[in-house]
Structure 1
Amino acid sequence: MYAIVEIAGQQFKVEEGRYIYTNRLEGEANAELVIDKVLLVESAAGVKIGTPTVEGASVKGTILEHLKGEKVIVFKKKRRKSYQKQNGHRQALTKVQINQIIGA
């Protein structure tokens, strides 16, 4: 059983017992999280596709920790102009464990 959910404007395929990394979410570590924007649910009974969301479906999860992603280096250079600029960025992420998928 899996589901396609929308979290903070991004779509994720989630399964029970798996982890996902999303953009930083509100809430403390070990807090419960309920996601109501379920776009698709696949189970033994079949596939339910929402218009735009599946009525009565939700996904329950737990926020495990807040962390930072890998460093991305941004390097800009213009040749023969004595211009070069280096910048770095680390995205703020949240690790979420999916506990239960409730399909309607």
Structure 2
Amino acid sequence: MSYAVIKTGGKQYRVATGEKLKIEQIPADVGQVIELDQVLAIGEGDALRIGSPFIAGAVVKATVLAHGRHDKVKIFKMRRRKHYQKRQGHRQNYTQIVIDVIPA
């Protein structure tokens, strides 16, 4: 089974064909096919191709399934004995994709 290591949104992911993945939000419509061109490595069994830093001409194609927001992360800051408390929350946007084609 072939796999690839891609970079998107400042993070690196190991992906295989048919795998669903939540990545940082990208401006694309639901159902649109996108191309992820920052491919760091491609593996097929024991064979492994590694780029420096990217493999030239390699493009992983994916279909956008949905857009959404992750669960809320709660941030609580406190300084003891100083009468200081701060509560804050954050929900990160994401784009869910499914990997279609990994180059050979």
Give the TM-score normalised by the residue count of structure 1.
0.93
Residue 45 of structure 1, CA deviation: 7.1
What is the match of residue 35 of structure 2? 34
Residue 44 of structure 1, CA deviation: 4.1
Q: Does 1:57 align with 2:58?
A: yes
Residue 56 of structure 1, CA deviation: 2.4
| Count of residue correspondences | 103
What is the match of residue 25 of structure 1? 26
Residue 18 of structure 1, CA deviation: 0.4
SS for the counterpart of 1:102 is coil
Distance 1:83 1:66 in 2: 37
- Trace 1:1-104 onto structure 2 (pairs within 5 A): 1-44=2-45, 46-103=47-104
Give the TM-score normalised by the residue count of structure 2.
0.93
Q: Percent identity?
A: 35
Distance 2:57 2:24 in 1: 25
